Amino acid sequence: MAPEAGSGPFVSNGAKLCRCLHCPTRRTNEVQIHVQGSHSSNSAETERVMKIVSVVGARPQFIKAAAVSRELRRYHREVLLHTGQHYDFEMSGTFFAGLGLPVPDVNLGAGGGSHATQTGVMLEGIEKVLLAERPDWLLIYGDTNSTLAGALAASKLSVPVVHIEAGLRSFNRRMPEEINRIVADHLSDLLLCPSDTAAKNLAAEGITRGVHVVGDVMLDVLNWANERLVSQPSKILETLGLNKQRYILATVHRQENTDNHHHLAQILNAFNSLDEAVIFAVHPRTRKVIDRESLKVNHGTRLIDPLGYLDMMALASSARLILTDSGGLQKEAYWLGVPCITMRPETEWIETVYAGWNILVGPDSIAIVEAVHNFRPSTPRQPLYGSGFAASKCVALLD
């Protein structure tokens, strides 16, 4: 029987496993046996139940965790730590219920405040959990402040870090996400990339050890959602009174498009001048700026609250077009076969642009309107970002 994971030093085959947080042998792939102050390996112990602290905090991380957590818990013990970065029900709770994610074991309540305040509160909280839980790995996703805090807290304690969605780069360091990604990747021990481009980006920064291309766990979740939508169809089109292919779905939340309210005004001006209905699922950050700056929204643009994942995928798959600055939605548009206009000057998901299904326009109303009228992908879609089995590859690499 496998020993209980993460419960401190325990007896196994007559030897004690070393779980000291600073033990250098913890960074190898084999279980290390710490006997009377010495370290040696025992291959009979290589298949063991491990304890993994997974850090989530923002909407896209709940979605990714839905795929990985399910797989992880088949073999290992997971402590799910929610930093509280996103806290509104529409941004957090709905994903736990809708995606069957387990209730977090810890919630740090670190939402709101400046980047520094938020990250500081998370760092302190994550460190406490790591000291109490003594995990074998800390698992982080993506590029948010929660990702950064997890990577920093764990690496200072010599807890190995696994980064899912490693290696993405926009090459724009004005984006907080780009800073988070770079730091997280440089502190990670196992870097699980969605694409060859991501692995090449890491190599260009000198990171080659522990790098694996596994595909994108978001495709696993989308496949799961598509199956679920067959047995339990979403009523979102009915609720909103929409017909398939007769509307555009929009989201905007990036700091560069919201904190600079002139950019947001450009985007809204574009929506306002379209003769097609725009369904705009509004992120709380964006809602605050629209209200504070009294930005004009005309009757063709419908502001709705953020949606749960299944409703969002149902709405996305029936849209004629997607207008977004989200990373996740650019890929989902591609997988669903919906043309995407990205309102940013660059993208980390460059393969979708090369494939001809995504176009970059930046927050410029004339360019957005022009693209809405003229962008018509014609090339057949090839598989991108793996085949929908990324989560099991990620978990297998933890052994």
Out of 3, 45, 87, 200, name the contact with ligand UD1 by CB under 6 A.
Answer: 87
Among 112, 233, 337, 383, binds ligand UD1 (CB under 6 A): 112
Residue 393 found at the interface with ligand UD1 (CB under 6 A) = no
**String marking each residue 235-274 x if it binds ligand UD1 according to CB under 6 A:** ------------------x---------------------
d(CA 252, CA 287): 10
Interface stretch with ligand UD1, choices 58-66, 70-78, 314-322, 371-379 (CB under 6 A): 58-66
**Interacting residue with ligand UD1 among 3, 93, 284, 377 (CB under 6 A):** 284
- d(CA 150, CA 126) in angstroms, rounded, equals 7
In the complex, what is the shortest distance from the CB of residue 141 to ligand UD1, in angstroms, rounded to a whole number?
A: 10
Span near ligand UD1 by CB under 6 A; candidates 64-72, 157-165, 281-289, 293-301: 281-289
Strands across the sheet containing 277-281 = 301-304, 277-281, 247-251, 321-324, 340-342, 358-360
Shortest distance (Å) from residue 52 CB to ligand UD1:
21
Residue range at the interface with ligand UD1 (CB under 6 A); choices 79-87, 123-131, 229-237, 361-369: 79-87
200 vs 287, which CB is nearer to ligand UD1? 287
Contact 252, 303 (CB under 8 A): no
Query: What's the CA angle centered on 283, arms 279 and 289, to 5 degrees?
Result: 105
Q: Is 58 in the site for ligand UD1 (CB under 6 A)?
A: yes
d(CA 322, CA 306): 15
9: left (phi over 0), alpha (psi -120 to 50) or beta: beta
Among positions 16, 186, 285, 320, the unique one binding ligand UD1 when judged by CB under 6 A:
285
Least distance to ligand UD1, CB of residue 61, Å: 8
Provide the 3-class DSSP secondary structure of residue 300.
coil
Collapsed DSSP state (helix, strand, coil) of residue 351? helix
- Nearest-10 crossing angle of helices 217-231, 309-317: 80
Stretch touching ligand UD1 by CB under 6 A, among 9-17, 67-75, 83-91, 129-137:
83-91
Q: Interface with ligand UD1 includes 308 (CB under 6 A)?
A: no
The verdict on whether 76 is a catalytic residue reads no
Sign of the CA dihedral running 210, 213, 218, 224: negative
Q: Does 60 bind ligand UD1 (CB under 6 A)?
A: yes
Q: How far apart are CA 356 and CA 377, in angstroms?
A: 6
Q: Phi and psi at residue 157, in whole multiples of 5°?
A: -100, 10
Q: Which of 34, 163, 253, 283 is catalytic?
A: 253
Query: Which pair of tokens denotes residue 45?
Result: 């112990």
- Asked if residue 86 binds ligand UD1 (CB under 6 A), the reply is yes
- C-beta of 379: minimal distance to ligand UD1 in Å? 28
Q: Is 94 in the site for ligand UD1 (CB under 6 A)?
A: no
Residue whose entry in the numeric block shows the structure tokens 């013990």: 77
Distance between CA atoms of 323 and 359, rounded to whole angstroms? 10
Residue 363 found at the interface with ligand UD1 (CB under 6 A)? no
User: What is the nearest approach in angstroms of ligand UD1 to the Cβ of residue 394?
Assistant: 20
Cα distance between residue 332 and residue 315, in whole Å: 11
What's the rounded Cα separation, in Å, for the pair 136 and 157?
Answer: 12
**Annotated active-site positions, please?**
253
Applying CB under 6 A, the residues found at the interface with ligand UD1 are: 58-60, 85-88, 91-92, 111-112, 143-145, 176-177, 253, 283-285
